[in-house]
Structure 1
């Protein structure tokens, strides 16, 4: 009888510990999520597109090799079969963004691959704005901005942002390989932020691309179980210990007899 009691309590305790572990793993998986970060859906589900009025071009989902509108040479995807790229037939300014909830108590590391193919051949032109009407302007940048931010084409491209993730860049085309970037979003844990990929061109064609946008979240410390569960675990441990002591005493008495 005592053996079966001990087994039952040990099994119960193991189940509780497993449940706690699964809960921690589930919380980690849901701590921050990028929707459709590899664009494998073939569309921009989870993302929002903004184009400056009066301009040309857009963001596109592509399989690579050739840009979708201007037919320029672009790399293949880094993983899977799709990625996002800008293309145009004239000057324009284009934004691709997603709002991300960053759970408190976790470290959040953003990672993604990017290209910035500038077919103008004269390098970066950064007048301090992403407005297509300010010339010359030929650049790609990535910013973290507050949720609700809409001032994409203001006189200052940095006004109102939380931080710049990738400084303005323009790589002389053709570009044959991707760049990888990681960035720590932990300072904004406990809030929702807007991740924005921004490209402007008014000199010549520009193919900015992003792929495999991900966030890896890890607990800053092991979460404590709630008080009820904690008491239950402690109680189970106590019962198990008492049962074990009684079993040991019974075995000793049997040996004496």
Structure 2
């Protein structure tokens, strides 16, 4: 066997091993089939409501006499959804360790805005009462990736904490019908922060009227975690060729 063939076999083997080792980050219970296990919920003090598990086709706090209809969860039996009887600010988040490799984040969002419009000030707090007693309108939904190491306030939107904003409602936006799949290629971000603890955060704030945020099917798609069968066969051939060369030498 020539040196060039030997080098090729070694290169193929290293490529397969690299593909296996550089898996995307892992999220726990992204379909909420185990309730809210693996996720953390935070609510601003003084507000009403929180994140609930939603199943079926009604909001979690629907009055049976006056049900509020929503779509069924798009994946499995459960989704996470905010609901309340008054203003509030609610977070659903999960921390994970960034790793190099292909990392495509997908999640399904549902939005039902009973407040009539969106307002998105640079804050996630529902109570922004100023010194003259006027409260800033805040009716928004955000999805962010945050750096955990220096994070003091889970509701922070400071640029030093937020590495990437993945979704935000803005004035004039019209919520889409049903659940919508949002996709972001975070390969570069994961590579530049490999080994660091990051946070995926879903946030909902409302002080104009009811605002329901549904979340489901949250996952990192990783094309590198398990090599394709054809790649494994090539790697096996490379290993066999390499072993034969070593025996002859």
What TM-score comes out, normalization by structure 2 length? 0.73
- 8 Å contact 1:66–1:73 — kept in the other structure? yes
> Runs of 5+ in structure 1 lacking a partner?
1-16, 223-231, 244-257
1:89 aligns with 2:101: no
C-alpha contact (below 8 Å) 1:77/1:83 kept by paired residues:
yes
Q: Which has the higher contact order (CA 8 A, sep 6+)?
A: 2
Match of residue 55 from structure 1? 47
Structure 2 distance, partners of 1:103, 1:47, is: 20
- 2:124 alignment counterpart: 130
Match of 1:226 in 2: none
Q: Deviations over 1:116-156 (max 9, x none)?
A: 210122x21112211111331111110111125342445x5
Q: Which residue does the alignment assign to 1:181?
A: 182
Secondary structure in 1 matching 2:223: strand
Structure with greater strand share of residues: 1
> Which one of 195, 209, 217 corresponds to residue 212 of structure 1?
217
Q: Which residue of 2 aligns with 1:145?
A: 146
Structure 2 residue runs without a partner (length 5+): 1-11, 129-135, 228-238
User: For residues 169 and 64 of structure 1, do their structure 2 counterparts lie closer, same or farther at Cα, with a shift above 3 Å needed?
Assistant: farther
State the distance in 2 between where 1:25 and 1:153 align: 36
**Do the aligned residues in 1 keep the contact of 2:24 with 2:99 (CA within 8 Å)?**
yes
CA contact 1:38–1:213 (8 Å) conserved in 2: yes
> If each structure's helix is expressed as a fraction of its own residues, which one has the higher value?
1
Query: Does residue 108 in structure 1 map to residue 113 in structure 2?
Result: no
Contact 2:140–2:168 under 8 Å retained in 1: no
In the alignment, which residue of structure 2 is the partner of 1:36?
29
- Distance in 2 between the 1:151 and 1:48 partners? 14
Once residues 150 and 48 of structure 1 are traced to their aligned partners in structure 2, the CA distance between those partners, rounded to angstroms, is 15
| Largest Rg, 1 or 2 | 1
Q: Does 1:99 align with 2:95?
A: yes
Match in the other structure for 1:10: none
Q: In 2, are the aligned partners of 1:96 and 1:198 still within 8 Å (CA)?
A: yes
Alignment size in residue pairs: 208
User: What is the RMSD of the two structures over their aligned residues, measured on CA atoms?
Assistant: 3.0
Q: Provide the C-alpha distance between the structure 2 equivalents of 1:46 and 1:58, rounded to a whole number of angstroms.
A: 16
Whether the 8 Å contact between 2:43 and 2:50 is mirrored in structure 1 is: yes
Segment of structure 1 superposing worse, 44-53 or 128-137:
128-137
Q: 1:69 to 1:172 in 2, by over 3 A?
A: farther
TM-score normalised to structure 1 length? 0.71
